[in-house]
Chains A and B, each alone.
Chain A
Amino acid sequence: MFLGIFTGIEVLFFILGVLTTLSIGGLFWLKKSHPVHWNSLSIIGSGLFIMIAAIAWCVSSVLEGEPQAGSMGLMVIFLPGLVLTTLGGRLAFQQIK
């Protein structure tokens, strides 16, 4: 897969680790640099968590040879995560204004 050293699932979980670190870092930055309440942060955090879980599900499904499960994962898991993150983001934006 990646330079012929790592398997697909190993690369996936490395990228998930990077995404999780960036998400947590982003939330801390938002809290420190802007007057954002915990409620909007927790909504954004939940949405990001769900989206990362959806990426894990989808890529794993493709790797195991079940692409339909991956597509369904995008619709059933990723979309609600995206909606939550958007709602949390709008809420945070209003608090910043």
Chain B
Amino acid sequence: MSVENAEQTTANLSRRGLLKFGVAGGSILLAGKALGAGSEASPVAGVEAGSASFPVIEHDDFPYPVNADYKQFNPEFNEFIQTYHRNMAKYGAEEPYVEIDRTQPGFRPFETSLNYAPWSVKIRNTGYSMYCQPNQGEYGWGFKPQGEPYPFESPQQASDVIKRAARLYGADMVGITRQDWRWDFAVHHDFITGENLTWEDDFPFKPKTVIVLAFEMDYESLSAGPTQVSSAATSVGYARMQHTAGMVAEFLRGIGYNAVASGNDLGLSVPYAIAAGLGESSRMGLLVTYKYGPRVRLAKVYTDLDLVEYDKAKTFGVRSFCERCQRCSDACPSKALSRAEKPSFEPPEGGFQYFHNPGIEKWYSDARKCREYWIESGSDCATCITSCPYNKPDFWQHRMIEKMNSIMPGPVHTFMREMDIWFGFGDTFDSKAPDKFWSREGRMYDGRA
């Protein structure tokens, strides 16, 4: 599996290949310019509003079509919970024992501990909320607001104050959107007790607003994927989520509003993040943000504060790029990601249907294949995130390329995908990457560099 993948991601840098590459690149750029005269292929075509700064386009409504018969997702069908029950029945453990070579880079004892430490902190504070378990620790429902609600001078002031506080508390990105029943879970399922809690009878208030927080995951750590080093980027994200979301919720309660912090529980984080203007949907099903690409984790805060300036959903050409790129589905070691060119309203026939909530136009992935590979590889994989061309360090040249990319027509996206491979970005199964992560070259830990 790893060898096959390595073959996919390693560019053949022969002289003949380079010449072909240059000629093809020049031709595609010229063709792209010519095609650019027509707007059909442009990712920025056909939008309902366009007041945001170039190349981001704002939308008044949710930017992707949703069927009228769309139903809320029941978290009981979440693949984490399904795998948990299957494995408990079959092996008597959450995960079966898998023999992993603990001497290979990425799986050495200190690297395993690197990943497990944040998970331990996270589970001590918010239980198994990553499996949608509700009402846990900082994500608990029993905290009461203090005093009368503070009357903000304007919705804009309320929004500014919440966002600044969230940034101070550690969020890398913040967006605010209206509560939307479509993205809330149908019930709150506790997979350990089997109990189902409801919005009407058990949740402490009627939420009106959802604040979505995004947390950057470390680029170098994810570059080592799929290993325990890359998994640590995920676990650190979960540990940061609970503290920041917990503080934002407590901040709102301190000024008199009801608020409940949330990780993966309460509702679907990705559509809420899209609605809050933090990013776009992608082929891999994850949020792709403008600044960090798919390299983020998401948390939410539900509140009854509603006099707030809501953010608009934003698009910047990701879906158009995903149609042609397919680097994530090529790199996916379990072949769990869709290879269909266009997104659809239904998951593909014959796939596992239960963990999907059909009715939204998107790319559907096979969550069971994905989860089983996590167990097989002894990691949280994240190969799709690592290989995504939007996953880049925060440097000026990538921001420039992304701006150019957003206005380029479709054929150029294929060229950009190839360029990304040739330039060495998005390599997965790189056995040298864990040591690069640990290397002290170019790093000074006393603050001098």
**A and B together in one complex:** yes
In the bound complex, CA of A69 to CA of B422 (Å): 8
Q: Is the CB of B423 within 8 A of A69?
A: yes
A61 to B419, CA, bound (A): 14
Interface assignment of B425: CB less than 8 Å from any CB of chain A:
yes
The distance in angstroms between the C-alpha atoms of A5 and B397, with both chains bound, is 23
Find A1's partner among B22, B393, B449 (CB 8 Å cutoff): B449
B395 and A64 contact, CB distance less than 8 A: yes
Per the CB 8 Å criterion, the residue count for chain B at the interface is 16
Contact call B448/A60, Cβ cutoff below 8 A: no
Residues of A within 8 A of B396 (CB): 9, 60
B23 CB-CB contact with A under 8 Å: no
Q: Does B33 contact A (CB under 8 A)?
A: no
List A residues 38-55 near B (Cβ within 8 Å): none
Contact present for B423 and A65 (CB under 8 Å): no
Q: Check: B220 CB closer than 8 A to any chain A CB.
A: yes
Compute the total of residue contacts between A and B using a CB distance below 8 Å.
36
User: Restricting to A65-85, which residues have a CB under 8 Å from any CB of B?
Assistant: 65-69, 72-73, 75-76
Instruction: Point out the residue from A56, A65, A73 that lies within 8 Å of B220, measured CB to CB.
Output: A65
Closest to A1 in B: B449
A60, B397: Cβ atoms closer than 8 Å: yes
Q: Which residues of A have CB within 8 Å of B25?
A: 76
Given that A4-B448, A61-B397, A64-B395 are known contacts, is A69 also in contact with B22, CB under 8 Å in the complex? no
- One digit per residue, 1 when the CB lies within 8 angstroms of any chain A CB and 0 when it does not, for chain B 137-150 equals 00000000000000
Contact of B22 among A9, A61, A66, A76 (CB under 8 A): A76
Tell me the nearest residue of chain B to A67, going by C-beta.
B424
Verify A66–B397 contact, CB threshold 8 A.
no
Q: Which residue of B lies closest to A76 (CB)?
A: B22
**B449 cross-chain contacts in A, Cβ below 8 A:** 1, 4
Nearest opposing residue in chain B for A69, CB measure: B423
Interface size class of A (residues with CB under 8 A): 10 to 19
Which residues of A are found within 8 Å of B422, using beta-carbon distances? 72
Within 8 A of A (CB), among B17-32: 18, 22, 25
Smallest CB separation, A97 vs chain B (Å): 32
Task: State in angstroms the CA–CA spacing of A4 and B422 once bound together.
Answer: 34
Is B442 an interface residue, CB under 8 A from the partner?
yes
Which residue on chain A has the smallest CB distance to residue B444?
Answer: A4
* Given A4-B448, A65-B220, residue A72 in contact with residue B424 (CB < 8 A): yes
Report the bound CA distance from A40 to B22 in whole Å.
24
Q: Would you call A60 and B395 a contact (CB within 8 A)? A: yes
- Of the candidates B22, B395, B423, the one whose C-beta lies within 8 Å of that of A68 is B423
From known contacts A72-B422, A72-B423, infer whether A57 and B397 are also in contact, taking CB-CB under 8 Å.
Answer: yes
Tell me which residues from 295 to 344 in chain B have a Cβ below 8 Å from any Cβ of chain A: none
Let me know if B393 and A68 touch, CB within 8 A.
no
B164 within 8 A of A: no
Query: A65–B448 contact, CB under 8 A?
Result: no
- The answer to the question of B208 belonging to the interface, with a C-beta cut-off of 8 Å to chain A, is no
A66 to B219 alpha-carbon distance, docked (Å)? 11
Does chain A have a CB within 8 A of B436?
Answer: yes
Shortest C-beta distance, B394 to chain A (Å), equals 9
Which residues of the partner chain B approach A66 to less than 8 Å between Cβ atoms? 393, 423-425
27 interchain pairs, CB-CB under 8 A: A1-B449, A4-B448, A4-B449, A56-B397, A60-B395, A60-B396, A60-B397, A61-B397, A61-B423, A63-B395, A64-B393, A64-B395, A65-B220, A65-B436, A65-B442, A66-B393, A66-B423, A66-B424, A68-B424, A69-B424, A69-B425, A72-B422, A72-B423, A72-B424, A73-B423, A75-B18, A76-B22
Q: Which residues of B contact A (CB under 8 A)?
A: 18, 22, 25, 220, 393, 395-397, 422-425, 436, 442, 448-449
- Known A64-B393, A65-B442; 13 more pairs at CB < 8 Å: A4-B448, A4-B449, A9-B396, A56-B397, A61-B423, A63-B395, A64-B395, A66-B423, A66-B424, A66-B425, A69-B425, A73-B423, A75-B18
Across the A-B interface, the 8 shortest Cβ-Cβ residue pairs: A68-B424, A69-B423, A64-B393, A72-B423, A64-B395, A60-B397, A69-B424, A60-B395
